[in-house]
Structure 1
């Protein structure tokens, strides 16, 4: 059995610098985001039949503790952990329960309470899940720490070498996304920067010209989405506001990830390309049909790489889009109107659900000063190394 899936409510907290809100723990974050999503959907928690809770930093069953603040209704609660794609993975699973006819209303919720500074390994007495990726990286580029900016910065360097892009193009991505975040009250940062300010900021990975405003920060926060079947939407008269998920795919690594000899491939471009093409086929759309995009700009070079992986342009031409202004207001697409991970923040478990919220609000016409005029089709991209790429397409309420 296959059913249509609709987003009927979204909620999120403001993303914050870790520890900035004293005493703000993950159950508080999840309660805030979940309550807002329920209010937007206009339903009670006891109408939800399954919950999928995503987080990366926490103990077993933290997802149960997070949703228990919303209600104790004996429903199945599933804990999801898939690195930076955790939130979108929870969204995919919650949608699958509806597609398969197992539920009519589900909750996807993500949260993170993070430590300041660069990401590190939690368990040092066992194999690192990124070990194969890091070993392949070390064979291609001189080792640098921390690993995440090294990997994505090196992918940017490869793009420079192959296709003639410049670090300035990546700085332009950061300038655009920080500028977009000025209109997002949920964003961790709401500051604009000139290109010179970005390029002259504290260096994170010098070989690639990667500075701090070009990197997503660690963050605290939560996001939530309530999904429903067509039957549920009709029964509750939600058709005027229900955003349809018209395509969705999750892709993991293939042997080519490690055999390609390409850093661009190692950081997920091929996974993204496979997932995006499946989604275009499912939704019967092309990139030209898309109006607004939220994509995984964990580091500015990855936004340019993702333009190409999403088939917004040909291989090696991503930097031409940012140069021409094709990915901001007045261009062919508006990419990361929320400010993206770079400026909105990146609490790993919440990121994909914050992307879902932004795009749902755009398609409902509720994005206020960020609104993309006339937006009817939206595309979401979320990636986690280790690894999964999740791509989702949405259509505005009919």
Structure 2
């Protein structure tokens, strides 16, 4: 990368329960895209390319969505990288700009989902054909394979191992859910805005022991968008007050370490999250000690704890104590998932990673309203997908 890239416009729809609103994916994409362009104060005609993330729509759904913004003939890319799809589209946009190829790129992500738990990626129920068959094979060798939702099962087993190895408690896992549901009460974009006590979270229906319903992210409909531009574009259009620099960004995929231990803690992505974080820190020249606000991939409460460790916020095994002591909420060392995170804000796969960066942009500009993190200057987004991909993005107020 020879140049800098900046976020100058972000937008998103409210994330909603599937089938709760009469809209199509192109409607939500238009809403998010128009919001991002309006935030940047530029017309769609200046956009040169558009990487667009989605997982559950047809192959050229990106074109169908982007055409709602204009018919300018620009290249449109359909991006699918499981739950890391949105951040993958954003990373592509950043690469187009930072390489000098383009001055203005729109990253867009959307998802129109079905009710109920996500499947295991096999499509036909035969997990031997799934892209994550290796991951489930590691789980099955140690824990067997039960008839609970497969993604909850693999993360639930990671939670069991963490509890056995480090003494992490059910109460500490529930503290993640309690924190994130409480944060979402101030977020008008969140799918859920109810506040739950730790006791209520523990008493909610068990999905896969020890994870209860209020510790699991829901399926969601929604979209998010970001306008990514060069330093030259920022100056030419007087966008200095809007600009947030993408100071570092890295993707890592599974390595031998992910599978060698036979542990679900590694299979669900802690090693690749650690690698992506290390590379993003190196590129940005910043470390976790410089970060003020974090949006991370809490698809299940245990993954928030695993990510604390992968990002270097604490030693391995100490993440339960970190959340229990209040270090990751307002008044603590960091504010993690001020949006409510995936657990409470929602998780439309193609939009999630971009929505995380929209939330961070608002905080770094001082525009997050009642959930504003005071004096926030550096933000970090972490987005992960099994199969696998982990992307860490470090944002800095320009």
RMSD between aligned residues = 1.0
Partners of 2:271 and 2:256 lie apart in 1 by 11
Task: Report what 1:257 is aligned to.
Answer: 258
Task: Report what 2:198 is aligned to.
Answer: 195
Deviation of 1:243 (Å)? 0.2
Deviation of 1:122 (Å)? 6.4
1:123-134 equivalences in 2 (<5 Å): 123-124=123-124, 127-134=129-136
Deviation of 1:137 (Å)? 1.1
- Out of 124, 143, 152, which is 2:155 matched to? 152
Secondary structure of 2:142 counterpart? coil
Partners of 1:123 and 1:284 lie apart in 2 by 42
Residue 176 (structure 1) aligned with residue 175 (structure 2): no
Task: Report what 2:105 is aligned to.
Answer: 106
Work out the number of aligned pairs and report it: 394
Partners of 1:86 and 1:394 lie apart in 2 by 19
Task: Report what 1:43 is aligned to.
Answer: 42
Task: Report what 1:243 is aligned to.
Answer: 244
Task: Report what 2:189 is aligned to.
Answer: 186
Secondary structure of 1:227 counterpart? strand
Q: Residues 59-105 of structure 1, C-alpha deviation per residue, up to 9 Å, x if partnerless?
A: 11001111100001010000000000000000000100011111000
1:278-297 equivalences in 2 (<5 Å): 278-297=279-298
Partners of 1:13 and 1:195 lie apart in 2 by 29
1:354-365 equivalences in 2 (<5 Å): 354-365=355-366
Partners of 1:251 and 1:313 lie apart in 2 by 21
1:376-391 equivalences in 2 (<5 Å): 376-391=377-392
Secondary structure of 1:316 counterpart? coil
Deviation of 1:127 (Å)? 2.3
Partners of 1:66 and 1:219 lie apart in 2 by 18
Partners of 1:45 and 1:252 lie apart in 2 by 33
Q: Residues 214-252 of structure 1, C-alpha deviation per residue, up to 9 Å, x if partnerless?
A: 000000000000000000001001011100000000011
Secondary structure of 1:140 counterpart? helix
Deviation of 1:333 (Å)? 0.0
Task: Report what 2:144 is aligned to.
Answer: 142
Secondary structure of 2:143 counterpart? coil
Structure 1 segments (4+ residues) deviating >3 Å: none
Partners of 1:2 and 1:104 lie apart in 2 by 13
1:17-166 equivalences in 2 (<5 Å): 17-22=17-22, 24-120=23-119, 121=121, 123-124=123-124, 127-144=129-146, 145-166=148-169
- In the alignment, structure 1 segments of 5+ residues that lack a partner are none
Partners of 2:230 and 2:142 lie apart in 1 by 47
Partners of 1:161 and 1:202 lie apart in 2 by 22
Task: Report what 1:329 is aligned to.
Answer: 330
Question: Contact 2:25–2:110 (CA<8 Å) still a contact in 1?
Answer: yes
- In the alignment, structure 2 segments of 5+ residues that lack a partner are none
Tell me the TM-score normalised to structure 1 length.
0.98
